[in-house]
Copies of this chain bind each other. A is one copy, B any other.
Amino acid sequence: MSADTRSHQAAGQPAPGRRRPVQQRSQERYGRILDACAGLLDEVGATALTTKEVAHRAQVPIGTLYQFFAGKEDLLAALAGRNLDHYLQRLDRRLLAESTVGPAGFTDLAVDEFVAMKRTVPGFGQVDFGLAGAVVPAGVRDDRHLIDADLDNNTAVALRLQALGGEVFAAADPVTLTLGLRVALEAADAVLKLAFRSAPDGDPALIAECKRLVRCYLAEQLSGTLPPC
């Protein structure tokens, strides 16, 4: 989980896009393109971002960009994937630091880490994990499927969070839990987007509401069948 970057879909065909670089020089270029994309994202936004400008800033010709990425959508998807890996890595470290946490503590950590990355990681404020749309500015056919191609993004993230949560959610029915995490994830992402729309560093009141919302929902979710809230 912590070894290499881009851990998911690590083994497989060239994946959603094109060629996955293997030589070191190409890997550097691959990373540079993603970095340039992230930087520009913060400056001009997702819709105004152009592939030519990304290539220019990354010091690669436009053709090289299209060797690594199938298009603008795929480029943003790759950035979202890297963001997700980065996030899960950081959350993992935080979870190991704390001795034991319950679902509420898990929620707080997860939200806090997300907020921290929104504030510091370039481009994260615009695409985060590519969760809810709002990206996909000039796609071709059907949108969605940014991270795992055949699996819904949110389900993929939920499953990885579930694995990461491990003993925190030990006593829960896995299927119900996955459903609950998907819902909580989607809701939390939406509220946090609102928080960062209201204030550049995230409206503290809305961040607090996000935690309450998720804690309340997950508590009910984890207590088996639905007792009165």
Task: Report B-chain residues with C-beta under 8 Å of the C-beta of A137.
Answer: 47, 136-138
Within 8 A of B (CB), among A94-146: 132-134, 136-144
**Docked complex Cα distance between A187 and B189 (Å):** 8
Copies of this chain present: 2
**Docked complex Cα distance between A209 and B229 (Å):** 13
| A121 → chain B closest CB, angstroms | 19
| A223 → chain B closest CB, angstroms | 10
Interface residue total, chain A, C-beta cutoff 8 A: 44
Task: Report B-chain residues with C-beta under 8 Å of the C-beta of A134.
Answer: 132-134, 136
Complex interface bits, A136-180 against B, C-beta within 8 A gives 1, otherwise 0: 111111111000000010100000000000000000000000011
Is A42's CB within 8 Å of the partner chain B?
no
Complex interface bits, A189-213 against B, C-beta within 8 A gives 1, otherwise 0: 1110110011000000110011011
A210: nearest residue on chain B (CB-CB)? B183
A selection of 11 A-B contacts at a CB cut-off of 8 Å is A47-B136, A132-B132, A132-B133, A132-B193, A134-B136, A152-B197, A186-B191, A187-B187, A212-B229, A213-B217, A215-B229
